[in-house]
Amino acid sequence: VKIVLDYDKCSGNGICESIAPEYYHVADDGDLVLLKEQVSDQDIGAIRRTVAECPTGALTLAPQ
Ligand code: SF4
């Protein structure tokens, strides 16, 4: 699967980065940068957590 980020919904609070810093990075200007889109099998649990815990619903998963 791949991560889909809705930039309009993201508030840049960095919760996703705290869970999976190899995928998400909040830049100095507050914009979230998606470091990787494609989710490896070993990371899917952590990425599902970021989707569930994002308070603004900015993250979804899509088939690749
Ligand atoms: S947890 Fe959601 S709102 Fe917060 S930085 Fe990540 S995508 Fe944006």
Tens of pLDDT, residue by residue over 9-61, are 999 999 999 999 999 999 999 999 999 999 999 999 999 999 999 999 999 99
* Ligand 1 atom with the shortest distance to the CA of 56: 3
| Predicted pLDDT of residue 45 | 98
Provide the pLDDT confidence category of residue 3 given band limits of 50, 70 and 90.
Answer: very high
CA–CA gap between residue 36 and residue 15 (Å, rounded):
16
Atom 4 of ligand 1, nearest CA residue = 13
User: What separation in Å is there between the alpha carbon of 29 and the centre of ligand 1?
Assistant: 14
Atom 3 of ligand 1, nearest CA residue = 10
CA–CA gap between residue 54 and residue 47 (Å, rounded):
11
| Predicted pLDDT of residue 1 | 97
* Ligand 1 atom with the shortest distance to the CA of 15: 1
Question: What is the pTM for the complete model shown?
Answer: 0.94
